[in-house]
Structures are given as C-alpha cells and as structure tokens.
Amino acid sequence: MPFGFLKRKPAAVAPAAPTAATPSSASSDPMHRGSPRGVSFTALTEEWRLRGRMEINGRLSDALNRREAIAITDVSWGPPEAGAQLDPAPGLKSVDPYDLILVTGGGDSLPPLSETERAALKVHKVPYSVGLELPPFRVVGTVYMHPGSEPERLLDRSTEMFLPVIDAVARLGDNAVSDEGEEVILVNRFYLRGVAQVDQGTGEPLERTPGPPRAGHD
C-alpha cells in the first residue's frame, strides 16, 4: 500500500468552514443523536475505489460535512471502475473527507426516524437535472435547490462540502464508476469545476433558448 495515497490536492475555491453547532442543538437533532454505528460506504478518489464501513453518528452526509477524519473498518480497495476487483486494505483505519470525491452509502446511512421526524425534514425544493464536472469524474443526476436558486450556484462557497445527487450516474471517461441501483451519490464540492443543466435521459447539456432581438436590430 503506497504511503500517502490519499493525498489531498488544493482546489481553486474551497467551501466555507461550517458553523459549529452548540451542544444543545446537536443533541436535540435526530440526525446527530445515538451511539456510533458502522455504516457501509463506497468512495472514489482520483485513482481508487474504497469500500468498507464508517463509524459515525447520525447521517453519513453530516459525518462527511464535519470535515473530520472518520474511522473506517473492513476496508477493501482497487481501481475506480465499477465491478473492479477490490483487495483487503487492513492498514486503512481512517479517512479524511477532503480526499473523497464521490461517496455512496447503503440503506443504513440514515439513522432510524419516526414518521413525524421524516416529515419535518422535507422542505420544498426545485429539482434540476444537471451534469457535474469533478475531474476526472462526471456525474449526471438530479439536485434539489431552494426556489430562486440556479444550479450554477453550486459553484459558490457553502457550509456543506458534500452535495446529494439523486438518481445519479458517475463516469470516468466512457466508463461507469457508480454501481447500479445507487439512489444517491454524495459529491464533494471541493472538487466541483463545472455545472450544466442537462437532459436527464442523454446527459447532454440543454440548449438555451435565444432571447428576443434587441430594439434597432433585425
């Protein structure tokens, strides 16, 4: 196993640092409560695919957005392509979220919630089909934005480093690197370099409708 294979590379613009939650708010939030538990994950770096379990509290996305090293167990690794053979990597005991470009979790990535708690988490947002450039990967899927926000705003600084993309497919060149049946891919905005609205079926950018001609011109 090469030393320092998960070496963070600098980005042109990094997300803003998150605001620390007070102990009272963190303990009352159902997404942060409970004892640490092992959650299955698959993650991609620029050259590797990692699979194992993360020891976290609450949601997988919240654990990643804390930007702190996360303990990992039962880890295997290999080339990034989907279906590639992965070899045991017992020497990997923790991972820095900054090093991960794409992350997916299993059904255990959310803590148990009551129906009331699930309803309280739903807010009105607008879906957009987008193509996201996270070199060397490209992700096509659906993001949900607050009304009045355009997908290009995803390039702005944010307190959330990882963004959920629904019904997403990730590719490395012409090859798929996301596993079939994945419902959500968490993408690291630290690596995000381009955003375009696309046709969800083809993944091709939408053609912008030209505006009306300006006065005084044919």
Residue, of 41 and 212, whose pLDDT is higher: 41
Q: Compute and round to an integer the Cα radius of gyration of the chain.
A: 19
- Is 162 within 8 Å of 64 (Cβ atoms)? yes
- Is 159 within 8 Å of 184 (Cβ atoms)? no
What percentage of residues in the chain have a pLDDT greater than 90? Answer: 42
Residue 187 pLDDT > 90 = yes
Q: What is the mean pLDDT of residues 71-85?
A: 90
**For position 108, what pLDDT does the model report?**
64
CB neighbourhood size of 197 (10 A): 15
Residues whose CB is less than 8 angstroms from the CB of residue 37 and which lie 6 or more positions away in sequence, other chains included? 55, 56, 57, 108, 111
Cβ burial, residue 58 (10 Å; 0-12/13-18/19+): buried
Residue with tokens 């990992």: 72
Residue, of 106 and 3, whose pLDDT is higher: 106
Q: Looking at residue 179, what DSSP letter applies?
A: P
**For position 141, what pLDDT does the model report?**
94
Residue 207 pLDDT > 90 = no
Residue, of 212 and 126, whose pLDDT is higher: 126
The whole-model pTM stands at: 0.76
- Rounded-to-10 torsion of CA 98, 102, 106, 109: 40
Q: What is the mean pLDDT of residues 100-107?
A: 87
Residue 209 pLDDT > 70 = no
Give the pair of three-digit tokens for residue 203.
Answer: 């993944």
